[in-house]
Amino acid sequence: MKQIILIKYGEIILKGLNRHTFEDMLIKNIYAALGPIQAEVWRAQATIYADIKNENEMDEAIFRLKKVFGIVAIIKAYVLSKEFEQLKQEARDCLKEELESANTFKVEAKRADKKYPMKSPDICRELGGFLSDCYPNLKVDVIRPDKLVTVEVRETNVYLYCNRIKGLGGMPVGSNSKAVLLLSGGIDSPVAGFMVAKRGVALEAVHFFSHPYTSQRAKDKVLALAKIIAAYTGGLKVHIVPFTEIQLEIKEKCPPEQLTLIMRRFMMAISEKVAQRVNAKALVTGESIGQVASQTVEALCVTNDAVHLPVFRPVIGMDKEEIVEIARRIDTFETSVLPYEDCCTIFTPRHPLTKPKLENIVKSEGLLDFEGLVASAVAGIETIEV
């Protein structure tokens, strides 16, 4: 029996006259996610259909679709006849394995084709009674059935299924402009990138690399994280910024307790330059209030002062366990905890400021050629497309 994938979406339905734009973007992202898997994808009646040409690739297609933002449910459905007597026979045969392993079931009908001669309650009653006769082990339970048999009557076909696979939800990537993610090798920034991408924001990433104080393995670790994120965002450019000269200058000329904050201000300024270059409208960081000294409210105010673009901090109110839970779910955690240090941990002072005063930080920056160092770092960027 032929099978097809039904793709359900959520928020897009609320977009009114703009809905088709979001649907088209989601279909584009679906094609991108499917990659080499040949499929025909189209939309009709608030559902997207994916006809996978080689049904042996159906499970791989579903695995890939589970990483596409904007999808709330993925359904592998049987395509049945609209002639009801034939439909009953086909449903019995298709659901044999599912229903023989269940104790209770319920039939639910969705009649999108209003010209169909049977109404939804009639479909439920007639098909439910037929399946009960075919499978004496089954009892009807309309509250908590082991198996929910769903029948969707559409204009051209009837679709039958038992299982819905939960999607990521959110909005299609690219539907909400672009932002630059400050991507470290830690746990928090990949999660922040994932969460912003879920809201439809396209991403490019910036990573600060301090050779020889950080190793090639640390750089490879960040690119591995970028590859994981790219599975959700449909690709990711990573801009590798040479940062050693800036850190050595700060260490030599500025008070040691200010090192982290001045370093963060350089990072923000450089990231803003990258954002301007790639036409991004915001910066994204993995900062969480109070997690480290540079993430107190006072410190974040000092950091924000270095840029004009808005700074999105999706994990700002989360504790570490909440962030780790998401990192495990999106498969970045095991890579993030690999023991290769990034530039932030190498140059961390013993006693960093937790309540800095902006005027003192700006005064110390005056000892440096801030604009020249930023321009030099931007000029030395290596861009890698993951």
**Per-residue confidence band for 156, with pLDDT thresholds at 50, 70 and 90:** confident
Tell me the domain boundaries of the chain: 3-166, 178-385
Strand ordering across the sheet containing 282-284: 311-312, 282-284, 178-182, 202-209, 237-242, 382-385
Q: How many CA atoms lie within 13 A of 327 on its CB side?
A: 24
**pLDDT number for residue 346:** 59
Asked if 3-166 and 178-385 have one fold, the answer is no
Superfamily the domain 178-385 falls into:
HUPs (3.40.50.620)
Residue 340 pLDDT exceeds 80: no
Residue 352 pLDDT exceeds 90: no
Beta 382-385 vs 237-242: how paired, if at all?
Answer: antiparallel
Distance CA 205, CA 384 (A): 10
Query: Would you say the C-alpha torsion 170, 171, 173, 179 has a positive or negative sign?
Result: negative
pLDDT tens, residue by residue, 161-182:
999 999 999 999 999 999 999 9
Span 50-77, mean pLDDT? 97
Q: What is the mean pLDDT of the chain?
A: 94
pLDDT tens, residue by residue, 180-213:
999 999 999 999 999 999 999 999 999 999 988 8
Binding site as annotated, residues for ATP:
182-183, 207-208, 264, 286, 295
**pLDDT number for residue 229:** 98
Q: How many CA atoms lie within 13 A of 302 on its CB side?
A: 29
Residue 186 neighbours by CB under 8 Å, 6+ apart = 286, 336, 342
Binding site as annotated, residues:
182-183, 207-208, 264, 286, 295
Span 32-49, mean pLDDT? 95
Look at 94-98, 346-350, 370-374 and tell me which has the smallest mean pLDDT.
346-350
Q: Distances from the Cα of 27 to the Cαs of 62, 118, 261, 262, in angstroms?
A: 14, 32, 43, 44
Architecture of domain 3-166: 2-Layer Sandwich (3.30)
Beta 3-9 vs 71-80: how paired, if at all?
Answer: antiparallel
- The position carrying tokens 């099978």 is 3
Whether the model pTM is above 0.85? yes
**Per-residue confidence band for 108, with pLDDT thresholds at 50, 70 and 90:** very high
Q: Which of 253, 246, 207, 261 is nearest to 229 (CA)?
A: 207
**pLDDT number for residue 347:** 67
pLDDT tens, residue by residue, 246-305:
999 999 999 999 999 999 999 999 999 999 999 999 999 999 999 988 899 999 999 999
Q: Which of 97, 187, 183, 102 is nearest to 147 (CA)?
A: 102
**pLDDT number for residue 213:** 86
